[in-house]
Amino acid sequence: MTKKEIRTKVKELYKTHKSDGDWKKIYSLEQYKNSPLIMAYIPSGGEADCIPLIKKAMEENKTVCLPKVISGTSFMDFYILNNSVPLEEQLEKGAFGILEPVCTLPLFDVEKNTKKLFMVVPGVAFTAGGKRCGHGKGFYDIYIEKLRNTGSEIFLCGFCNSFQIFEDIPCEAFDVLMNIVIF
């Protein structure tokens, strides 16, 4: 199947399957437990819900960052949440109508990152071995490459529902593989 066909199939599957992504599996990973910095996402259509994980990380006083698309580009930045303010009060509708952090939050400075980080990566589909099919815009591939170029110690956790696991997904040279996929 092509990535376009996979995206169409998953869109159809969402009509007949309920979300079953289990964020607690992420919470139990040693890499999550040992990371002071968690990068996650607010789910949009076709993505597993990791909001409970975000709230748990905030309660644990971890540094939690969420992405915001830079309008009109193929780039995004991450913003640092304030753990003493409810998550919902730190979000607004952004690009593509997706909830994103308000731009008054501190910008995560990739160049000054000295921490180990754990990134929960959304996707339309994954393989159990770590291949990922996103929405086709390249936002995560570009950002992860930027992080890697700074020497950041990054653990990539793909997160999806069980019906989003495919036996194989075509990959390009720029496609980033996940360290683990949780479904």
Determine the pLDDT at residue 113: 75
Rounded to whole angstroms, how far apart are CA atoms 93 and 142? Answer: 22
Determine the pLDDT at residue 154: 93
DSSP, res 108: P
* Residue carrying the six token digits 């003493």: 84
Count CB atoms within 10 A of the CB of residue 122.
Answer: 24
Determine the pLDDT at residue 61: 97
- Answer whether 133's CB lies under 8 Å from 126's CB: yes
Say whether 153 sits in a helix, a strand or coil. Answer: coil
Report the DSSP pairing between strands 91-93 and 125-126: unpaired
Task: Name every residue whose Cβ is closer than 8 Å to that of residue 133 and which is 6 or more positions away in sequence.
Answer: 3, 6, 7, 123, 124, 125, 126, 166, 169
Determine the pLDDT at residue 92: 96
pLDDT tens sequence for the chain (183 residues): 999 999 999 999 988 888 777 889 999 999 999 999 999 999 987 789 999 999 999 999 999 999 999 888 889 999 999 999 999 999 999 877 889 999 999 999 988 876 789 999 999 999 999 999 998 888 999 999 999 888 888 999 999 999 999 999 999 888 899 999 999
DSSP, res 163: G
pTM above 0.75, yes or no: yes
Q: Return the structure tokens found at 90.
A: 């730190």
